[in-house]
Chain A
Amino acid sequence: MRLYYAISILIALGALILVLARLDKRKTNVRRIVLIAVMTALSIVSRFIFAAVPAFKPMAAIIVLTGMYLGFEAGFMCGALTAFLSNFYFGQGPWTPFQMVAFGAIGATAAILATQLKKRRFLLIIYAIIAGIFYSFFMDIWTMLWANNGLSGEGYIAAIISAVPYTILYAASNVVFLLLLEKPFGKRLGRIIHKYRI
């Protein structure tokens, strides 16, 4: 039973290392690399600003915007590194690999859907809600493995039910911050991308 717990951590870590090593092979513009670092730092700072409020944080929104405007690689890296590096300030633990995978997936998916998300506002809202629910459900897998009896449907449902307020907060914060930040970010990032031909 304990095996699931340890193996799941190892799988998450292995997947991350594989993806990062693959992304490293691709040739990337220097400016793009710097922009990834900047957006990652910004989302970590946003976690600091909202440190007092539980679960209501603009991190996921910034990661989604990074994915939308800077592409697949940037979205994944920004998500994974935000979780990894901010946990050095907020507490590292066995949840770190799971958070990295979840945030990385949210950023990368936003990059795949970028053209649609930029065009229609309501799609962005739907994506924000789905991203919040996905993050919560993904972390519930970890809760189930951590505190309960390994893999079991009953335990998973119990974990989901006990995390419902968090799920709502995640989805709500994603919607609020994406709606608030989409315009200023889009305008400025678009200008930078146009001006410096990234």
Chain B
Amino acid sequence: MTERLHPLSMLIFFLFTIILPAFTGNPYFYILSIIIGLIMLFNTLPLSNVLKSIPGYLLLFVLISCFNPLFYHDGDTILFYLNGKRVTLEALAYGMNSALMVIGVLIWCRIFTHFYTSDKIMYLFGTFSPKTAIIISMVLRLVPLYREHIGTYRNTQKLLGIFGEGTFFEKIQAEFKIFGGFLTWLLEHSMTTSDSMTARGYGVAKRKAYKLFTFKLSDALICCITAVASGYIIYAIITGAFSTVFYPSLILPTFSVKSIVAFLLFGIVSVTPTVRDIIYRLICRTTTAPKKP
């Protein structure tokens, strides 16, 4: 369902979920963003795929949390001494706060990579820079082609007995021979491509992008709601509703009406695609499942 949105409104949504939490500096905000991100990740990717990456996130959390107290020694509450330098609770808390932010950003970036497919990138680039868009589309085609072609080259050389035998140095030499041949083929091939493009009239008129997406009412609605929510959250940040004090001693942020409204706004906006997806799936299941006679 999220695939059918306009790339611009999707980009605004992802900027909202990826960048905005980083401005707050508030651990509760990061935890909220991580929970919603994980729910969305579980909803979109296969279960085993997500579970496999969770140990990595935990490891990253531990690493970043420990990094800060090893290099910063400010703070009032001393936990213990390491090599004559004090390790403080405040520095540890700061590290944990940073780690939460980093993990939230990583989770949302993963969702972004999943949903923001090449056609959407092409569309977005095509509107402001058609030249970049055509280069991107060609690269996306050429990368798999080259990977395949290098394999073919290698197999041919193996069949001729040039590759895969001899000392290490000879192997490297053979590899270079393959690369040289591949390079010649690739450059000549590119010239054929460009001639073909010229013959078909590339560059004759101003280039326009093929409009694959239309900006619908739902897109406008999403943009408006996201803009209003981020406006309110930025207002809450500026007025200090989220402020967490780490040094000299740790003061955890308190909840106020302003911050609770901001939490709710962020939660509602970022959870909406998942909720819609689940509702759609339920509707589809109830309507399309064949009834037993």
- Residue contact B139 to A41, C-beta cutoff 8 Å: yes
Given A31-B190, A184-B180, 9 other A-B residues pairs in contact with their CB atoms under 8 A: A2-B23, A21-B129, A30-B203, A37-B134, A40-B139, A94-B18, A147-B102, A148-B68, A155-B71
Contact (A45, B130) CB under 8 Å given A93-B106, A94-B105, A188-B183: no
- Residue contact B139 to A147, C-beta cutoff 8 Å: no
- With a CB–CB cut-off of 8 A, which chain A residues contact B94? 149
Contact residues of B with A, CB < 8 Å? Answer: 18-19, 22-25, 64, 67-68, 71-72, 94, 98, 101-102, 105-106, 109, 112-113, 118, 125, 128-132, 134-136, 138-140, 142-143, 145-147, 150, 176, 179-180, 183-184, 186-188, 190-191, 193-194, 197-198, 202-203
Contact (A9, B19) CB under 8 Å given A33-B135, A34-B138: yes
- Residue contact A37 to B135, C-beta cutoff 8 Å: yes
Nearest to B182 among chain A residues (CB) is A42
Chain A proximity of B103: nearest CB distance (Å): 11
| Interface presence of A192 (CB below 8 A) | yes
| Interface presence of A36 (CB below 8 A) | yes
Chain B proximity of A190: nearest CB distance (Å): 11
Nearest to A154 among chain B residues (CB) is B71
- With a CB–CB cut-off of 8 A, which chain B residues contact A154? 71-72
Contact of A147 among B67, B132, B134, B202 (CB under 8 A): B67
Contact residues of A with B, CB < 8 Å? Answer: 1-3, 5-6, 9-10, 17, 20-21, 23-24, 28, 30-31, 33-38, 40-42, 44-45, 48-49, 77, 81, 85, 88, 91-94, 146-149, 154-155, 158, 180, 184-185, 188-189, 192, 196
Q: Report the bound CA distance from A33 to B190 in whole Å.
A: 10
- With a CB–CB cut-off of 8 A, which chain A residues contact B147? 45, 48
- Residue contact B135 to A188, C-beta cutoff 8 Å: no
Q: Is the interface of B mostly helix, strand, loop or mixed?
A: helix
- Residue contact B23 to A21, C-beta cutoff 8 Å: no
- Residue contact A2 to B101, C-beta cutoff 8 Å: yes
- Residue contact A81 to B131, C-beta cutoff 8 Å: no
- With a CB–CB cut-off of 8 A, which chain A residues contact B202? 30
Contact of B197 among A21, A30, A40, A49 (CB under 8 A): A30
Chain B proximity of A10: nearest CB distance (Å): 7
- With a CB–CB cut-off of 8 A, which chain B residues contact A34? 138, 190-191, 193-194, 197
Contact of A77 among B64, B72, B135 (CB under 8 A): B135
Q: Report the bound CA distance from A67 to B180 in whole Å.
A: 20
Nearest to B207 among chain A residues (CB) is A24
- With a CB–CB cut-off of 8 A, which chain B residues contact A9? 19
- Residue contact A2 to B136, C-beta cutoff 8 Å: no
Closest 6 CB pairs of A and B: A41-B142, A37-B138, A34-B194, A24-B129, A31-B194, A38-B190
- With a CB–CB cut-off of 8 A, which chain A residues contact B146? 41-42, 45
Q: Report the bound CA distance from A192 to B229 in whole Å.
A: 55
- Residue contact A158 to B71, C-beta cutoff 8 Å: yes
List 17 contacting pairs A-B, 8 Å CB cutoff, sorted by A.
A5-B22, A6-B19, A6-B22, A10-B19, A31-B190, A35-B194, A36-B135, A38-B186, A40-B139, A41-B143, A77-B132, A77-B135, A147-B68, A184-B176, A184-B183, A185-B183, A188-B187
Q: Report the bound CA distance from A9 to B22 in whole Å.
A: 11
